[in-house]
Structure 1
Amino acid sequence: MRLSRDSKAILHAAAGLAAFVLWLAVTAGFRPLMAPDEARYAGVAFEMLRGGDWLVPRLDGLPFFHKPPLFYWISAAAMAVLGPSEWPARLPSILGAAVAALGLLLFLRRWADAASAKLSVLVLVTTPFFYVAAQFANLDMLVAGCISATVLLAAHASLSKAQGEAWRGALAGAFVFAALGVLAKGLIGLVLPGAIFLAWCVATRRTRAVWQMAWPPGWVLLLAIAGPWFVVMQMRYPAFFDYFVVTQHFRRFAASGFNNEHPFWFYLPVIAGLTLPWIGWLALARRGAREGRAPLSDVDWLMLIWCLCIVLFFSIPRSKLIGYVLPALPPLAYLIARAVPAAMKGPGPLSRPLGWTAALSGLLCLAAVAFVSVYVVQPGHRLRLPADVAVAPGDQVLMLDAYYYELPFNWALRQPVMVATDWTPAVVERRDDWRKELHDAARFEPERGSTLLVDTFRLHDALCVSRATWLIGPSNAVLAHPWLAQARLVAVSREAAVWRFAGSATRDRRCLDEPGVAAPQ
């Protein structure tokens, strides 16, 4: 039985998706979660699963509205099926990378040629930057996949309509992925693809295609998918809009005072270094393409504008993270693939140099994962309780002067932990760190926040109770808290330690002041 053209396309797409997922996921469970980012987002997903509240993302039991919930929904659902571990925690990023790669393959097979499509995807999935990010449990790769799919589907709809082909399904898909992008990381899931598509229409003189952005059925789809969660959160928490939209979008983009401030040109060396050795083909192409260049095609313009828009947009704010520019990698992979013939000074035998480049790049991908697994280990990962020791259901857990994002996930804690430090506003606002995250979250549920966020001077109230408390803090915490000498040291690493404090059967508030009153058990 001969397969139709559509059936073959579906089979090719399914095979491509399976291959991408297998390659991107093969080492995803080999290394522990990195703090703060991976441990934070995996912890929120774990708490969503543990607590059964699939609407409100929570960090240590408190509403965490830095980002929307799509990553947490996918990760928590994967944990429900596979159990709480590193692999399901990273599944959203793997899926985002697979969507970007598959979308690039299908788009280029239709609007460029099969050879360019295959080479572009080979470049993409063997680029160390892309590969490692696909195995990193944060929101950047997921939104990169959504943005890529939105741009490619919108361009496909425009090109199809120009040739009299069916276009509405592709445009509807673009709006669906834009909605998912909004649920993945906020307004950039809609604004960035829209800006890229608009700039492409202007550059290629497709003025009529601009009106596709106002297609009413598409906006109905987008609002129906992305709108309900935001409406429910605003109804439940009146301060949600100001915090999520104004603070986390506009203030973070325009203001200083947030973490990771870097100069405007920061992403140029980042992209150049993390896309080696493939980026070298672009350098060779510049030297080899001195003579008559062919005019840019519509696809060339799309990829060039797409790449530049992403890099320029994220270069403007002072706060920059490496993963922000991941949406620029699919078009960059195409530009590299297109540069290969020019770098070789004509259509010659390319299999050997390309094969060596792909092999070297693939080895660098695996080496990067191995390096992170061995050398980038957070303090909390070394804190493992002895085999015969466990946190009982009625015990408390309290972190001293630190918040170890990875521990609730690693220890599979049943309840949020208390965190004791100086919670005065002057201290909290000094840095954009775990204190500020937890303090901001507590504003949405102040009563619960007052229970979980313990000022150091209230430690008596938290610890002088008739149940045991597991204390986690810096290994030298006894210098700041001499009463820790009364507790039993359970586990220790170079940076952090765990103690068990028996409490006070009589609830005597002096249990931290008089050694011996609350002897450890």
Structure 2
Amino acid sequence: MTTAKKDLLLISAAGFILFMLGNWAIAITDPVESNYTLTATEMLRSGDYVSPRIYGNYWYDKPAFFYWELIAAYKLFGINEFASRFFPGVFGVLGLCMTYGFARRLYDRKTGLMAAGVLGTCFEYWLLSKTVITDLTLFVFFNAVLICFFLGYSTGKRNLYYLCYLFAGLATLDKGPIGLLLPGFVLTVFLCIRRDFKEFLRLRLPSGLVLYALVAGSWYYMMYTIHGMDFINNFLGVHNFLRATQSEHPRWDVWWYYLMIFFLGCLPWSWTLPAVIRKYVKLRQKPVIDMTTAFLLTWALVVNIFYQCMATKYTTYTLPALLPIAILVARYLYNREVLVKRMVIGAVAVYGVLTFALAVPACSDEGYSGKNVAAVYKDMVTEDDLVVSYGDYKTSIVFYGGKMVYRLEKAESIPGMLPDGKSWNAKNVMPFISFEELPEDRRVFLILNNRRFDSFEKDFKVDEWKLLGEFKAAKVYVREAR
């Protein structure tokens, strides 16, 4: 077995242990993870693997690739927490192997091992490798585009550019048009900095875009054929254009947001970043920056600056920048190998403790997941019963309870909450029911957020409801049919 294969085997084994440890005990949380798991579950049960759906409605939040991953895992392991977190962990391992191979190709074996160790123990990377979310899949495909570009550019083997279009197509199937636009923007900035404008003519654009269209376009074409402009307006209009131009979380639309994420996400390596940055931004050093370093810096900076310019800020958006950062940190710490080994081993130990001491109990808390709440009524509820939620609606309750949950609101409030295709209300695809519509001839289970208890006492006859379970964040009641 070659040294490279031994290294990859070691990295894969360590990565699987780190990213899979405890996943069977970490509950599905709200609001993001539960949306993905419930959507994949409904697609699996419906037998329709083309059109994502949730609460029985078609759902255009993300393309289908990540849902296909979840469906595959559910077929292998059943519908459970471990299966839900399986492929994020797998892609986390693939990302480490890809980083090792690229850094080794650019520099040497030692740099590759150190870069993989740095990346795998970055807090954000570890966390997202255990989280049911699209970003680790995007990390691999997005960064594969840039790796293939640079290897093709630096070696003159320009047929490697076809792999760029292949991986961009897969990234687009996972996350949307950003899978092509942003890596394309990174390489465009790099070529402009080098003033190598002739290279644009060598990018295999016509044939490459055909390959991209075949990989990514097939699903988009099927969705448009089936759903028409409703798909276009919601997927491109709300979940892409609106997200870029109108902040979903306005309080986080601040200039320092990704600086904060940059340093928190890179823990425990953040202490090296100011020195790494300082090394390359000094004007007197610019003339001696080699092409490889310039590409890694462009890669990391463009990703962060691009998303800082977007209206909606998410902690996960800049994850792809961690790969070039890990390589730059490895080069900076190249002569401090013992320190790197100790930090990697220490970080792995800390993450193991955090998994069971923090992640497992925190994710089971009713403020983050509805698993315990759903367990209260799951074995009692029948097909004829109605389950409603008043206050903080949690999709995970639907996932764990196996029963549709209606969002209870006052009749006059519901029209202003329904999806309209023009605002963030497009995400409110759960079924609604008004106070006036609550049936008297059916048994009703009520999940009440504790912050709405005063309203509950005002709007209902409390003595009609029997308390089944009480938690820090919620209470579960039942009212028998009359």
How high is the TM-score relative to the length of structure 1? 0.81
Cα distance in structure 2, aligned partners of 1:9 and 1:250:
43
Structure 2 residue matching 1:472: 3-state secondary structure: strand
What is the distance in 2 between the residues matched to 1:229 and 1:287? 45
Partner of 2:386 in structure 1?
Answer: 396
- Residues of 1 paired with 2:214 and 2:66: CA distance? 19
* d(CA) in 2 for partners of 1:81, 1:154: 35
- Deviation by residue 1:361-395 (Cα, 9 ceiling, x = unmatched): 33343344342333452332331535994323443
Q: CA deviation at 1:182?
A: 0.8
Moved more, 212-221 or 56-65: 212-221
Alpha-carbon deviation of 1:245?
A: 0.8
Distance 1:32 1:259, change over 3 A: farther
- For 1:339, the equivalent position in structure 2 comes to 332
Structure 2, gaps ≥5 residues long: none
SS at match of 1:29: helix
Q: Could you tell me whether the CA contact under 8 Å between 1:277 and 1:360 is conserved in 2?
A: no
Q: Offset of 1:268 from its aligned partner?
A: 0.8
* Residue matched to 1:449: none
Higher mean C-alpha deviation, range 130-139 or range 486-495: 486-495
Q: AA paired with 1:378?
A: E
Match of 2:361 in 1: 374
The equivalent residue for 2:348 is 362
Contact 1:264 1:318 in 2 (8 A): no
Whether the aligned pair in 1 keeps the contact of 2:223 and 2:231 (CA below 8 Å) is yes
Aligned partner (choices 78, 83, 87) of residue 82 of structure 2: 87
What's the CA shift string for 1:415-462, capped at 9, x where partnerless?
5333222453435689x9996522xx47xxxxxxxxx32233322xxx
Deviations 1:193-212 (A, max 9, x none): 11111222233344343235
**Separation in 1, partners of 2:250, 2:350:** 29
| Mapped contact 2:18–2:352 kept (Cα < 8 A) | no
Cα pair 2:366 2:474 within 8 Å, conserved: no
The question of whether the paired residues in 2 share the 8 Å contact of 1:61 and 1:416 is answered with no
Q: Distance in 2 between matches of 1:421 and 1:104?
A: 49
**Residue of 460, 469, 472 corresponding to 2:447:** 472
Superimposed CA distance per residue, residues 298-348 of structure 1 (whole angstroms, 9 cap, x where no aligned partner): 22122111100110011112321111111111111111111124xxxxx5x
Question: What RMSD, in angstroms, separates the aligned Cα atoms of the two structures?
Answer: 3.1
Structure 2: distance between partners of 1:47 and 1:484? 35
Partner of 1:420: 408
d(CA) in 2 for partners of 1:426, 1:434: 11
TM-score (norm 2): 0.87
Deviation per residue, 1:279-303 (Å, 9 max, x gap): 2223455788999799223221221
**Larger-Rg structure:** 1
Partner Cα separation in structure 2 for residue 117 and residue 260 of structure 1: 39
Per-residue Cα deviation, 1:448-493 (whole angstroms, up to 9, x for no partner): xxxx32233322xxx234x533332324264144245324332221
Correspondence for 1:311 among 298, 304, 310: 304
> Match of 2:469?
491
After superposing the two structures, state which structure 1 stretch, 33-42 or 373-382, moved more: 373-382
Q: 436, 455, 478: which one pairs with 1:500? A: 478
**Contact conserved, 1:67 with 1:184, CA < 8 A, in 2?**
yes
Listed one character per residue, the Cα deviations across residues 161-196 of structure 1 (whole Å, up to 9, x for unaligned) are x2xx5x42x333322221111111111111111111
Aligned to 2:231: 240
Where does residue 113 of structure 2 map in the other structure? 118
Instruction: Give the counterpart of 1:42 among 34, 37, 42.
Output: 37
Which stretch of the first structure deviates more once superposed, 268-277 or 284-293?
284-293
Higher relative contact order (CA 8 A, sep 6+): 2
Mapped contact 1:29–1:87 kept (Cα < 8 A): yes
Partners of 1:93 and 1:479 lie apart in 2 by 43
Q: Secondary structure at the match of 2:380?
A: coil
Residue of structure 1 in register with 2:268 after alignment? 277
Query: Is this contact kept in 1: 2:387–2:405, CA < 8 A?
Result: yes
- Alignment correspondent of 2:183: 193
Q: Residue 353 of structure 1 aligns with which residue?
A: 339
Structure 1 residues 64, 260: closer, same or farther in 2, change over 3 A?
farther
